[in-house]
Amino acid sequence: MSTRDTIPGIPRRPPHVVIEGVTPVVDGGRHPAKRTQGDTLVVEADLFKDGHDRIDGRVRVRPPEGRVRTLPLAYHFDPDRWEARVALDAIGRWSFRIEAWPDHWRTWRDELRKRVDADQEEDVAAELPEAALMLRKAAEAQGRSAPGLLEAASALEDDAVPAMERARRVLGPDYEDLVVGPIDPEELACSDDYEVVVDRPLARFASWYELFPRSQAPDGRHGSFRDVARRLPELAELGFDVVYLPPIHPIGHSHRKGRNNDPVCQPGDPGSPWAIGSEEGGHTAVHPELGTLEDFEHLVREAGEHGLEIALDYALQCSPDHPWVRKHPDWFRVRRDGSIRHAENPPKKYQDIVPLHFWCDDREALWQACVEVLFFWIERGVRIFRVDNPHTKPLAFWEWALRVVQDRHPDVIFFSEAFTRPKRMKGLAKLGFTQSYTYFTWKNTAWELREYLTELTTTEMAEYFRPNFFANTPDILHAYLQHGGRPAFRVRLLLAATLSPSYGIYSGFELAENEPVRPGSEEYLDSEKYQIKPRDWDAAGNLKPEIRLLNHLRRDHPALQRLTNLIFLDTTNEQLLGYWKSAPGDDLVVVANLDPFGPQEGMVRLPLGGLDLPVDRPYRVRDLMSGEVYLWRGEWNYVRLDPAERAGHLLEIVREEIP
Amino acid sequence: MSTRDTIPGIPRRPPHVVIEGVTPVVDGGRHPAKRTQGDTLVVEADLFKDGHDRIDGRVRVRPPEGRVRTLPLAYHFDPDRWEARVALDAIGRWSFRIEAWPDHWRTWRDELRKRVDADQEEDVAAELPEAALMLRKAAEAQGRSAPGLLEAASALEDDAVPAMERARRVLGPDYEDLVVGPIDPEELACSDDYEVVVDRPLARFASWYELFPRSQAPDGRHGSFRDVARRLPELAELGFDVVYLPPIHPIGHSHRKGRNNDPVCQPGDPGSPWAIGSEEGGHTAVHPELGTLEDFEHLVREAGEHGLEIALDYALQCSPDHPWVRKHPDWFRVRRDGSIRHAENPPKKYQDIVPLHFWCDDREALWQACVEVLFFWIERGVRIFRVDNPHTKPLAFWEWALRVVQDRHPDVIFFSEAFTRPKRMKGLAKLGFTQSYTYFTWKNTAWELREYLTELTTTEMAEYFRPNFFANTPDILHAYLQHGGRPAFRVRLLLAATLSPSYGIYSGFELAENEPVRPGSEEYLDSEKYQIKPRDWDAAGNLKPEIRLLNHLRRDHPALQRLTNLIFLDTTNEQLLGYWKSAPGDDLVVVANLDPFGPQEGMVRLPLGGLDLPVDRPYRVRDLMSGEVYLWRGEWNYVRLDPAERAGHLLEIVREEIP
């Protein structure tokens, strides 16, 4: 049988080198990895080919603006693994690609060296013209950028010089890097292009404070942006970076909720700020009692002067009084009888809210309008949006909307407030959210914290999911805080502020407010969602000293500004959670007592090798919160923590020799 | 600012449902997963969307021939994970794709049920026309294949019947599956297409025997195919499935190797069969002393009659006397001075072999000729090729060549003889090799075996890398066998035959041949690679009884025919390796003594729950090799193994009640 005419075509440009296992890559390249400006991106790949030839490779990096950069790949300690380090000096969407090729020149030199060493003069003489041919090909392929190639080729063929002498010359260091890149462009193998979104550092490391502007008047009247502005010096002094405001827009009247979520409101009840829109305007208007748009812009500027940023809530839902309901009834779920389908979770009816119908026939105009809201506030200086319940709006909408905004404003941060099943939360993060709320509030035992943080810091999640550990929210007052009281608040603050580089508290946390609306509920009694709640911020027992100290320690210690540098420590008492956070020159050890009801003691184990500590003599650790210094020795050391005194130790290794 | 005209286009057909984490998928779909005919392919995916709507999904499976099959996906026990089971009833290249969509009909019914239960009659009445509209849309989209939709729509709108009664009717079981598939084709989300190569069962489960035909004559003369044919009844009776022959082609004369790899051969030395080609022919010719092509075809037929298959060696290299060297000098690495570069690993020279230059200018003709060799032997009844050193030929060549052959002959098995770094071995398996040699010969301690088998059976490797555990090869006589003698051979046989569904021995193993060419070498003394080696197969102490028993037990026990059904058992003695292999109705427990020098004893732990064994009363286990029955009780039981008696236990759980 002749098969010659029927065998399918031989590939025209088959790759010589296989490129596999490129990192960082999320879902095979479907989504970008995330980094922050100033980071070093470590790109890795497996490169291999058949035979014994040497190979070489490079990474081609396209920054958001400017020229493509080319970096050489270096052989890793793992067999067949290569890596390059890319300085991420600009925010925006980067991409990279791996390229690899057979390194004929170095392969030939290696083999020539062995022949010379074995004194195989005849073979050496036969090999030199081979190399000359290779250099001429390289000169042809690389053109003007390859000086010296033709001269070297001629020298190799100079019969006036004995072959062994020519060989020894070409084995000299001058010839090592004579050929750069592939000699034959056909031999270049390329990976796909992979994206990396580089955010500004605040996306990684920030301390957040959430407050309701209407509660900020000192005298119990309806607070305003001016009242918020008066609190800025205090919040700045406490070391916060971001002040997040629930929706600031006009609040609907229809079916307005009363205090404690009463379906019937009383005269004077302010309603929920999430019931957005009234005859006074919608998502681009300001609630009149808070002030004017100019007042808001003033607040944003004032905050900036205190080193603070204002984050706004982006809640894509409408009260029945929202202007869109009249102007675009087709943007809502209208029944054939003309009635609007309210926010649905039958048989419950949330009649103060009507959800947008993102798949309506006029979808394009609706999606456009939603994005225009973001541009409106961006124009007024806002660069951080906390997005309300993104998991109830189409994932495809988020992928488009976030991309549209960040393509123009790569400094904008989107914070996903989705509390839902794990894969949906991860899905939102992959599709573009800069950072995400987490299950942290529900992780209160040592094993829960270890398990959850291990997932966040050591799995593929670390590439795309940036946690922001809020210790409480207007919706979540966990039973641990309700029952554990002030000691529970202290330990949750310590954990949030040291486990995650981004963390936050909702105002009232510093006063250890912990009364639920009813037993078994995570809702606050007299929730600020439905009423104005003035507070005495300096009430006895407030946690401001600890908050201030922790926020400033976070700023001073690079180890607290990273997520994946976390290593849990063994302890002999499951109520004692120990972990080590490291950064160059900065090793911190936290031991927290998770029992708010009484003292706990036990041993904690330090990895002496990793910490570069002596095994044979004592060393000192200093508690950065109390200033106390302890003399420790060996791996296992004793700790006793009394919640009446403190929530835990935040220990710095003292590097000076003990005199 | 008006952004209306400048915001980039809203996606036209954005997906409603996200499809992620599809399995089985190798390297994001770059390579096919592997299965065998008769397997059930479990396809899984994460499916999720925003909001509370129900979703539904299906898998569309394209078999190698015939119509696309559609199977429904079912919700898995994991949140948001779905699965379908596909019966793989044909060999060849299959593909599958996940499709998912919002299930508006069931969502609507769920909500209606809650409204009916809450007696919200007004809402119920308003909802019924919504459903009627949905059903009419579905009828339009699905055409003739949707009977009853329009009738149901009219019934929903029949105002003569009270709304609550209509609602109760539509909530009845007749209406549950009224709408199948997406109502609006625009709402269909699709994954990529992923491939699965389905091989015949022999690719998964087979016992191999390797022999040199020239050694098979009983009287020491040069053996022939007729002599091999005479051994077939014995090999069949021993329970082997595949007889693999090293190259059967004419052997070169130039620089022929002598005994024990002597660079100078003596008159009468037969040379290495891997020095392929002489004036008598190349890769499509038969070595004259072995017989004729007709003799070979006769051998293949004879083997078939004994239930055996002949596997050939496919070694793409040439002796300097190969016809291709004269006819196609450009297919080799020719220097500018006309000399040929020999097989390279300078300063060593393998002058009996010249490597093919797969990237020569006449590359297409060369690659074609290489594949034609395969078709030549396939025409003569060969369906299994053991491929010599594939890692020294281009990976791109293999991807093309294997595909070309298997597209026409999906029953052809390619067995990769690459002993190289892990990623290159895995790369070859991904690119198409049906099965692969492994590091098994070098894994002789319990922890090495546990670590290696855990990688083979529990990582992504299990999807594409089929190990074939050869216990020895003409190139590998491991020190464990050299020093451990007959007891070592027995335990390695037990391990190979029970750890891996495919295993093999090279002849001489059954005689415990274990003399190396020199201390520290893994080469045999008087290696059969360079000389004829007649043997007395019935010599005292031969292992044929154990081989026969194990091969037949392998055929009787489905648990021994699978790779990934392996679970290691705890033992109290690191010289005792314990594992459990399970298949429906077939649970086997192996305990092997890895110490060939003396008895070892200890406890082995059985997972009673997994094995469905009583915790409160004794049970029996039967040694399938010795027939002995032991009374065991509880998780931990005592084992003592004396290498003078046996290598280990191969235990079957006796399921009958103890009287």
Using one digit for the tens of pLDDT, what is the confidence trace for B550-605? 999 999 999 999 999 999 999 999 999 999 999 999 999 999 999 999 999 999 99
For residue range A279-323, what is the model confidence (pLDDT) as tens digits? 999 999 999 999 999 999 999 999 999 999 999 999 999 999 999
**Chain B residue closest in CA terms to A342:** B123
Distance CA B47, CA B81 (A): 6
How far, in Å, are A12, A52, A102, B365, B418 from residue B359 at the CA level?
11, 15, 12, 11, 21
Q: Which of residues 310-339 of A touch B (CB under 8 A)?
A: 335-337, 339
CB-defined contacts A:B, below 8 A: 173
Decide if B526 contacts B534 (C-beta within 8 A): no
CB atoms A52 and B344 under 8 Å: yes
Which residues on B lie below 8 Å from A347 (Cβ)? 114-115, 117-118, 120
**How many angstroms separate the CA atoms of A332 and A355, rounded?**
6
**Chain B residues whose beta carbon lies within 8 Å of the beta carbon of residue A427:** 18, 20, 48
DSSP strand E in A483-635: where?
502-506, 566-569, 576-583, 586-593, 600-605, 619-623, 629-632
Strands A40-48 and A18-23 come out as antiparallel
| Alpha helices, H only, A507-543 | none
A508-533: average pLDDT? 97
A2 confidence band (pLDDT: 50, 70, 90): very low
Closest residue by Cα to residue A419 from A467, A368, A484, A366: A467
**Could you tell me the pLDDT band of residue B4, with boundaries at 50, 70 and 90?**
very low
pLDDT at B496 over 70: yes
Percent of chain A whose pLDDT exceeds 70: 98
Active site residue A321: no
Beta bridge partners of B60: B70, B97
CA B488 to chain centroid? 27
Q: Is the pLDDT of residue B535 over 90?
A: yes
A chain contacts of residue B52, beta-carbon cutoff 8 Å: 344-345, 392
Q: Tell me which chain B residues have a C-beta less than 8 angstroms from the C-beta of A51.
A: 391-393
Interface subset of B 36-95, CB within 8 angstroms of A: 46, 48-52, 79-80
Question: Residues 6 or more apart from A119 whose CB is under 8 A from it?
Answer: none
Tell me the nearest-neighbour CA distance from B217 into chain A, angstroms: 34
What pLDDT, in 10s, does the model give residues B325-370?
Answer: 999 999 998 887 777 776 566 777 777 888 999 999 999 999 999 9
Does residue A7 register a pLDDT over 90?
Answer: no
Residue A340 above 80 pLDDT?
no
What average pLDDT does the segment A616-645 reach? 96
Region B207-226 average pLDDT = 96
Chain A positions touching B45 (Cβ under 8 A) are: none
Pair of tokens at residue A86: 């890319």
Percent of chain B exceeding pLDDT 70 equals 98
Q: Give helix B149-156 / helix B121-142 axis angle, nearest 10°.
A: 160
Mean pLDDT of B210-223: 95
In terms of pLDDT, which residue wins out, A188 or A657?
A: A188
Chain A residues inside the 8 Å CB shell of B115: 346-347
Q: What residues of chain B, 623 to 642, have a C-beta less than 8 Å from chain A?
A: none
The CB density around residue B134, as the number of other CB atoms within 10 Å, is 20
Residue type, A544: K
Q: With H, G, I as helix, E, B as strand and everything else as coil, classify residue B389.
A: coil
Distances (CA, A) of B629 to B356, B449, B625, B652: 58, 28, 11, 9
Query: Which residues contact residue A262 at a Cβ distance below 8 angstroms, ignoring those fewer than 6 apart?
Result: A530
**Other CB atoms closer than 10 Å to residue B158's CB: what's the count?**
11
Cβ–Cβ contact A117 with B under 8 A: yes
Q: Which residues pair with B206 in a beta bridge?
A: B502
The whole-angstrom separation of Cα A194 and Cα A30 is: 8
Q: Exposed, middle or buried by CB within 10 Å (0-12, 13-18, 19+), for A234?
A: middle
Integer Cα distance of A11 and B141 in angstroms: 42
> How many C-beta atoms lie closer than 10 Å to residue A397's C-beta?
24
| A133 min Cα distance to partner chain B (Å) | 9
pLDDT tens per residue across span A96-155: 999 999 999 999 999 999 999 999 998 899 999 989 999 999 888 877 656 688 888 999
Distance separating alpha carbons of residues A380 and B643, to the nearest angstrom: 83
What tens digit of pLDDT does each residue of A564-611 get?
Answer: 999 999 999 999 999 999 999 999 999 999 999 999 999 999 999 888
Question: Model confidence over A477-510: pLDDT tens digits?
Answer: 999 999 999 999 999 999 999 999 999 999 999 9
Q: What does the block give as tokens for B284? A: 């499509």
> If you compute the radius of gyration of chain A from its CA atoms, what whole number of angstroms results?
31
| Residue whose tokens read 């093309």 | B400
Whether A4 has a pLDDT exceeding 60, the answer reads: no
Interface of A with B in 203-262 (CB under 8 A): none
The lowest-confidence range among B105-109, B335-339, B481-485 is B335-339
**CB atoms near residue B638 (< 10 Å):** 11
Q: In this predicted structure, what is the pLDDT of residue B280? A: 97
At B240 the three-state DSSP class reads coil
> Chain A contacts of B347, Cβ < 8 Å?
114-115, 117-118, 120
Contact status of B200 with chain A (Cβ, < 8 Å): no
Distance CA A587, CA A584 (A): 8
Contact B471, B441 (CB under 8 A): yes
Contact (CB<8Å) A46/B423: yes
From chain B, the residues in CB contact with A27 under 8 A are 20, 28
**CA torsion through residues B461, B464, B469, B470, sign:** negative
A50 to chain B, closest Cα gap in Å: 5
Report whether pLDDT(B144) > 70. Answer: no
pLDDT of residue B657: 76
Interface with A, mutate which of B2, B7, B25 (most A CBs under 10 A):
B7
Specify the amino acid at residue B470: F
| Model confidence band, residue A6 (pLDDT cutoffs 50, 70, 90) | low
SS3 call for B311? strand
Residue A465 has pLDDT above 50, yes or no: yes
Name residue A314's amino acid.
Answer: Y
**Spatial contact of A128 and A101, defined as CB atoms under 8 Å apart:** no
CA distance A159 to A164: 11
Task: Using only the alpha carbons of chain B, give its radius of gyration.
Answer: 31
Cα three-residue angle B134-B135-B139, rounded to 5 degrees: 120
Would the CB atoms of A368 and B79 count as touching at under 8 Å?
A: no
CA distances from A426 to A410, A454, A591, A655 (A): 21, 15, 29, 40
- Look up residue B351 and give its two tokens: 């002058």
List the 359-378 stretch of A: residues with Cβ below 8 A of B: 359, 363-364, 367-368, 371-372, 375
Taking the C-alpha atoms of residue A536 and residue A216, their distance in angstroms, rounded to an integer, is 10
The answer to whether B465 and B456 are in contact (CB under 8 A) is: yes
Residues 6 or more apart from B655 whose CB is under 8 A from it? none
Strand partners, A636: A605
Q: Is A363 exposed, middle or buried (0-12, 13-18, 19+ CB in 10 A)?
A: middle
Measure in Å the smallest separation between the Cα of B604 and chain A Cα atoms.
29
Task: Note whether B468 and B435 are within 8 A (CB).
Answer: yes
Contact A163, A125 (CB under 8 A): yes
Distance in Å, alpha carbon of A515 to nearest chain B alpha carbon: 31
Residues of B with catalytic function: 388, 417
Closest partner residue to A364 (CB to CB) among B10, B48, B336 is: B10
Which one-letter DSSP state was computed for residue B181?
S
- A513-522 in b/e burial notation, b at 16+ Cβ within 10 A? bbebeeeeeb
Q: Which has the closest alpha carbon to B622: B553, B528, B576, B568? A: B553
Tokens 């499951």 locate to A574
* pLDDT at residue A202 is higher than 90: yes
Q: State pTM to two decimals.
A: 0.94
Mean pLDDT score across all residues of chain B: 94
A388-413 mean pLDDT: 97
- Site from A7, A13, A359 to mutate, B interface, most B CB atoms within 10 angstroms: A7
Q: Which residue has the tokens 């070409």?
A: A170
Residue B165 and residue B92: Cα distance in Å, rounded? 54
Q: Using alpha carbons only, what angle is made at residue A251 by residues A246 and A252, rounded to the nearest 5 degrees?
A: 140
Rounded mean pLDDT, A171-180: 89
Q: Which of residues 411-470 of A touch B (CB under 8 A)?
A: 421-424, 427
Q: What is the ipTM of this complex?
A: 0.92
Main-chain dihedrals φ then ψ at residue B97, nearest 5 degrees = -145, 140
Q: What are phi and psi of B242, to 5 degrees?
A: -130, 135
A29 is written with which tokens? 């390249």
Contact assessment for residue A51 and residue B396, using Cβ atoms and an 8 Å cutoff: no
For residue B139, give Cα distances in angstroms to A333, A341, B100, B102.
22, 24, 19, 17
* Interface mutation vs chain B, best among A1, A3, A362, most B CBs within 10 Å: A3
How far apart are the CA of B420 and the nearest CA of chain A, in angstroms? 10
| Cβ of residue B396 closer than 8 Å to a chain A Cβ | yes
Burial of residue B508 (CB within 10 Å: 0-12, 13-18, 19+) is buried
The pLDDT of residue B1: 38
Closest by Cα among A49, A52, A186, A28 to B398: A49
φ, ψ of residue A386 in degrees (nearest 5): -95, 115
Q: What span, in angstroms and rounded, lies between the C-alpha atoms of A345 and A256? A: 18
Span A249-254, average pLDDT: 96
Residue B133: list chain A partners with CB under 8 A.
336
Round to whole Å and give the CA distance between B438 and A658.
55
- Which pLDDT band holds residue A344 (cuts at 50, 70, 90)? low
Q: pLDDT of B436-449, one tens digit each?
A: 999 999 999 999 99
C-beta of residue B443 within 8 angstroms of C-beta of residue B452: yes
Residue whose entry in the numeric block shows the structure tokens 């900065």 = A586
For residues B57-62, give the mean pLDDT: 98
What one-character DSSP code corresponds to residue A288?
G
Q: Which residues, in sequence order, are CB contacts of B163 under 8 Å at separation 6+?
A: B121, B124, B125, B128
- Give the mean pLDDT of chain A: 94
For residue A1, pLDDT over 60 is answered with: no
Determine the Cα–Cα distance for residues A254 and A90; give it in Å rounded to an integer.
Answer: 47
Residue ranges of A 128-147 with Cβ closer than 8 A to chain B: 129-130, 133
